[in-house]
Each structure stands twice: as C-alpha cells, then as structure tokens.
Amino acid sequence: MNAITTTLTRTMAVVDAYRVRIRNGERFTMSTQCAMLREGRDLDAVAIQAALILEGKRPILTTKQTKLDKAQAETTGYVNRGLTLATSREASPFIGSAFDACIGATDACRLACVGSRTGQGRLASSAIARIGRTIALFGATLEFWARYDREVERELRRAIKKGLRLAIRDNVASDHAHVAARSKATHPTVEHYDYTAITSNMRRVDGVRRVYSLKDGAQRRMLAKRMLADGHGVAVVFAASARRKEPLPATWNGAPVIDGDLHDLWFLQAPESGPFVVGLRVKGDNGQVQAAIDAGFAVAA
C-alpha cells in the first residue's frame, strides 16, 4: 500500500465517522471548523468539510469568486463557474506525502499563488473548503462525481433558462487535467477551459480549452516559446501592478497579448487561430510581488 493510499484511508475513516454524526442530526458550521484549525485540529476541520460535501450539505462548485465573477453574463453571454480544489501540496498531509495538485508548480508561484496566497484564498475557510473538496474527490470519487454532475446540470438549466451558456474552470487552483476532461466528457455542451503548467496537457484532445501557464526559470521560458511556436496560447504573469492597473504589453515574443484580468473567459478574447498570450498582472502584497519579480515568475512588461 503506497503512502497516498495509506494516508487517504486514514483520513477517510475520520470523514466516514463525521458522516455518521451528520446523518444523526449533528450540525457543523464553518466557524466551528475554523476554530478547530486554530486549535491544531486540522484533520477534523477538513474531514468535516469532506463529510458535509459527500452528504450534500455543502456545495462542490464555486459560484462566488472574484476572477470567475468578472465574466458578467451581460458582457460575455456566459455563466461562469469553477471547481476550486487544493493547491499544490496543500492537501498532502491528508492524502499522502506524494500528492501534489500542481506538479508543474515552482517555489515562486506557490508563494504568490492566487488560489491560496492572495485575496479570499488566504482565508482559513477557503483553505478548508479547497482541501475538503479534494479529499472528497480522491477519497470517495464516485460519490463526489455524482454530486458534482447534479450541480453542473442544475447550473446548466439555470443558464439556459436565462438564454446564457455555462462555462466551467475545473482547475481554479489546481492542475488536474483528468478532472476537466472527465467533466467535459460528461457535460459536452458546457464550455470547459483551463490553465496548465504541464506541457503534455497541451497535447490532450479532450475538448477542454487550455493555455500553457508560464512559471519562472529558463527552461519554462523556453517551453513557453515552444508552445507559442506550435500555435498555442500561453498565460504570462507580467510585472505590471494589478493594484494600479498598469498596462500590459501589446505583444510578448511576437504573439498578441490579451488582458486576462478583464475576466476569466480568455477564449472569448483569443484570436481564431495562431499563438496568443493571456496577460495577467502580478498580484499579492508588496513582499509577494517583489519576490515574484525577483524570481522571474513575473516577467518584465
């Protein structure tokens, strides 16, 4: 039995115990879970979240998130939803030491991760929600997907009723290509889009729109240029202040730059063919911004 299986089995035993308590009428609030986190009872806090999700007491889809919400229906024609799972090594203590939700992540991008280190992502409640969903997905996969599918179909019906389309980003804070591919295969009329730091994901033919996410380092820069040469899109974090709304460059390595901060549905701005860059402004506090620039994660505009 490998490390992931052993750790996850132990975690799921705690989850299952809480599921019994929930079925018996016991109630758990997020404030209670956050208090557990402060007390060092991390496993209880996230196990309760996974249990509540699997019992249908907490939602799986993210419906309120700053970046997702920027894709307003009146300007895009879409309702935008997401699946916010744990970032990089965030769920490793509960799933296994070998578990990494973003195997293409670097130390610099982890430091400035918009999924967990900036904005609402920094909140204890957000971390509990991300890790709880991830435990539920990997620990009770069939149950997770059954509930996920019901939520997607409900969102799709609501969108259609309003004359809109539904878009889903299944990796708001993670990089699991198989998750987005499975969702697209099950819900083919829903637009699925993604960012990935894994080059092999860009070769997948599964109906999911993807751009390659540039990280720091000379090798990553070379891979990004290769992606552009092959006609793909590349997401680049520029050393342009998000707080001051500094302008992005018109081009990067010969490819046109679109403003990825306008809203998350970058495919609506992308050219019909050929390479392009989804330009993103560096985010975080002053220390995070400077660290991202110093590491080369945020490139000169």
Q: What is the pLDDT of residue 71?
A: 73
Q: What is the pLDDT of residue 114?
A: 56
Order of strands across the sheet that contains 233-241? 78-82, 165-169, 191-196, 209-213, 233-241, 276-282, 255-259, 251-252
Rounded distance, CA 27 to CA 40, Å? 21
Render pLDDT for 115-160 as a digit per residue (tens, 0 to 9): 545 556 568 999 999 999 999 999 999 999 999 999 999 999 999 9
Under DSSP, is residue 83 helix (H, G, I), strand (E, B) or coil?
A: coil
What does the block give as tokens for 249?
Answer: 């460059």
For all residues of the chain together, what is the average pLDDT? 90
**Confidence class of residue 112 from pLDDT cuts 50, 70 and 90?**
low
Q: Domain segments of the chain: what residues?
A: 3-295
Rounded distance, CA 228 to CA 224, Å? 6
108 vs 247, more confident: 247
Render pLDDT for 225-281 as a digit per residue (tens, 0 to 9): 999 999 999 999 998 877 788 899 999 999 999 999 999 999 999 999 999 999 999
Rounded distance, CA 263 to CA 210, Å? 16
Tell me the residue length of the chain.
301
- Residues near 26 by beta carbon (within 8 Å), at least 6 away in sequence: none
What does the block give as tokens for 127?
Answer: 């971390």
Render pLDDT for 63-83 as a digit per residue (tens, 0 to 9): 877 677 777 777 889 999 999
- Maximum Cα–Cα distance across the chain: 62
Under DSSP, is residue 96 helix (H, G, I), strand (E, B) or coil?
A: coil
Write phi, then psi, for 127 (nearest 5 degrees): -65, -45
Interior angle at CA 300, CA 296 and CA 301, nearest 5? 145
